[in-house]
Amino acid sequence: MFENEKTWARFTENNSIDEFHKKFDNAIDHVRKDFGKNYPMIIGGKEIFSSNQFQVRSPADKNLVLANFPLATKDDTLHAIETAKESFYKWSLVPYQKRVQIFREIADIFSHDKFSLAAILSFENGKNRLEAMGDLDESIDFMRFYAEQLDLNEGFSKETKSASPNEKTKSVLKPYGVWGIISPFNFPSAIAIGMTSGALITGNTAILKPSSDAPLSGFKFVESIYHKLPPAAINFVTGAGSVVGKTILESNMVDGIAFTGSKEVGMTGYTAFEASRPRPFISEMGGKNPAIVSASSDIDKAADGVMRAAFGFSGQKCSACSRVYVQKSIAPKFLEKLVAKTRALKIGKPWERDAYIGPVINDAAVKKFQHASEIAKKDGKILCGGSLVLDDSHKDGNFVMPTIVANLPQDHELIREELFLPFLCIEEFDNFDEALVLANKSNYGLTAGVFSQDNAEVEKFFEKIEAGVTYANRAASATTGAMVGAQPFVGWKDSGISGKGAGGAYYLLQFLREQTQTRCA
């Protein structure tokens, strides 16, 4: 029976928090020894190094060169696609029980090595210890959950009603072929592994193109699994999206795409991919996620939930809370608590024990933050934050202050547009129906939360909110923290295309197509 990994929760339940941090400290020392190494692409079952490389530096300290990866060419990418195509039938005919076994073995390896893998994440994309371990836990959960789903459904093959007495018929779900997997920087282990596992475990072959800001975690997965598969069943191709991603999206030999990233990139890719023929395109494309705080709410719980959802991993989650609608009668008290909690957050190197706020991912994100802050100062009121962190201990990283803004005009660009930053906009409302209208007044529909002790309001929220992942009175986080197997992660409206959630019972079906088989006597 599938169980979530829940590393931090298990250490907490066992009163072993110091042991958790000791293991993390040891892992940090261990992974530092590999900084600056050259890493390969993996194409056709072979590790391919190149002198034409790009450096991966830590966003928390840009003096730290973590790794050097090849800059793949168009020919490298085409070679990966061609070899994946050649490998498809061999892998697709491997019994599903064997595929399940392989993924359970890799999940066990990741569980054994989780502290080292999480420490890599802290350096690679700036997640604090708990966020990094959560990313690893989710990676493990995806592999085990999808293995269980394939097992429970017996490979998605079942007998159907016979049309006549001399016929026997069954429905079989079969893989499409080659899948391009385009993954983001913010969950370089969990999302990369989740999407790639969905394709591979169902019998497809895959080309994984990781974010160039955070390719090391994806490499660790492919390195662990590729030798257990037929050559070229999985390929790992690093480099520019304008080369690798573009080549994958424009190839007629690619049979499906799984993508996580911005709406702009996702829709451009979708349009290009569907231009020649209809093919599956699974996407999750961000959000502008609201939380509603009613006058009946527990204000402390609401302030905690909003703060954690807005500023966990510096707001760089598709599910991060970026809009709050608070009822006018409690707005001053709620904002006082929220601002106080936000100002108390520890900004620091993410691998340090007590750090909560780490860096944003790159220079472009810093510039975007500065631009948003300038607009907020001009058009609204900054309640806290709005500036860079430039003291001696942070000057070599991409550190910005968690920022809360009020008094913006309705429909302002900061309220409409996804920023992917620790940037929270506050609006006030008179009645609950108005709050729902404001919350739904977005092209996005990924996550949403409500804080209310009025059951009628909570029911109305669930009935009318236009989002795929919804929460009520969740102090742990108003809009983030979906758990594999419990809360399928699915976007509505411009937040997604397929309408089926990662970590849910319907996810694997997207990588398969139905074939009816009839045998006559």
Would you say 263 and 494 are in contact if contact means Cβ atoms under 8 Å apart? yes
pLDDT at 161 over 90: yes
Does residue 113 fall inside a structural domain? yes
CATH number at residue 357: 3.40.309.10
* Distance from C-alpha of 286 to C-alpha of 294, rounded to nearest angstrom: 26
CA 459 to mean position of chain CA atoms: 28
For residues 454-467, average pLDDT: 98
Which pair of structure tokens corresponds to residue 359? 């860096």
Q: What is the pLDDT of residue 449?
A: 98
Same domain, 258 and 361: no
**Cross-strand bridge partners of residue 492:** 445
How many C-alpha atoms does 504 have within 13 Å on its Cβ side?
17
Average pLDDT over residues 299-310: 98
In a domain, 241, yes or no: yes
Residues 53 and 198 in one domain: yes
CA–CA dist 270, 276 (Å, integer): 11
Same domain, 93 and 127: yes
Whether pLDDT at 412 is above 90: yes
pTM (whole model) above 0.85: yes
Please determine, for residue 521, whether its predicted confidence score (pLDDT) is greater than 90.
Answer: no
One domain, residues 270 and 317 = no
* Residue 489 counted as domain residue: no
Q: Are residues 273 and 296 in the same domain?
A: no
Q: What's the pLDDT at 218?
A: 98
- Candidates 5, 318, 425, 457; catalytic one: 318
For the chain, give the mean pLDDT: 97
- Given this model, what pLDDT does residue 174 score? 98
41 beta partners? 48
The residue annotated as part of the active site, out of 284, 418, 427, 428, is 284
Q: What is the spatial distance between Cα 93 and Cα 107, in angstroms, rounded to a whole number?
A: 22
Q: What's the rounded Cα separation, in Å, for the pair 488 and 229?
A: 28
pLDDT digits (tens, 9 = 90+) for 213-234: 999 999 999 999 999 999 999 9
Domain tally, the chain? 2
Question: Could you list the residue range(s) of the whole structural domain that residue 403 is in?
Answer: 289-484
CA 309 – CA 289 distance, rounded (Å): 10
Provide the CATH number for the domain around residue 179. 3.40.605.10
pLDDT in tens, 246-282: 999 999 999 999 999 999 999 999 999 999 899 999 9
- What is the rounded average pLDDT of the residues 153-170? 94
What is the three-class DSSP state of 74? helix
| Domain contains 118 | yes
Measured from the Cβ of residue 108, the count of other Cβ atoms closer than 10 Å reads 13
* For the chain, percent of residues with pLDDT exceeding 70: 100
User: 3-class SS at 285?
Assistant: coil
Q: Give the pair of three-digit tokens for residue 134.
A: 């959560």
- 3 assigned to some structural domain: no
**Which amino acid type is present at position 30?**
H
Alpha-carbon distance 424 to 407, whole Å?
12
Residues 346 and 277 in one domain: no
Tell whether the model's pLDDT for residue 66 goes beyond 90: yes
Lowest mean pLDDT among 159-168, 322-331, 333-342, 435-444: 159-168
E strands, 396-511, are: 403-406, 423-429, 444-445, 447-451, 469-472, 492-493
Report residue 164's pLDDT band, with 50, 70 and 90 as the boundaries: very high
For residue 227, how many other CB atoms are within 10 A of its CB?
Answer: 9
- The reply to whether 284 belongs to the active site is yes
